[in-house]
Amino acid sequence: MFAERTGYIVWFSDWKAARGLDKYGTLHYLSRKMQYAVMYMNADVAEETVRNLQRLSFVRKIERSYRNEIKTEYEKNVPDKTRFYGL
């Protein structure tokens, strides 16, 4: 149904050139002050796309985002203490 997506943080040196990163994937955020971009792309073509991004002269470094690997399902193992704090 939905393609598996992966996120990358791209550190750049030229703000105007970095606005053209949307050709390589979905550009989620651009930071002008810290000079990085957050972008998402399909996981099946991500490796090839990263190689193409590294060839660009304004790209300094590319880091993979580990957001999809973080556990987001939590368990509640502590007892409910709301009855002790009643009025």
* Predicted confidence (pLDDT) per residue in 20-54, tens digit: 999 999 999 999 999 999 999 999 999 999 999 99
Domain residues of the chain, as ranges? 5-69
Other beta carbons within 10 Å of 13: 11
Please tell me the least confidently modeled range out of 2-11, 40-49, 69-78: 69-78
| The overall pTM is greater than 0.85 | no
Q: Which residues of 36-63 are buried (b: 16+ CB within 10 A; e: fewer)?
A: bbbbbbeeeebeebbeebeebebbeebe
In the CATH scheme, what is the homologous superfamily, with its name and number, of domain 5-69? Peptidase S8 propeptide/proteinase inhibitor I9 (3.30.70.80)
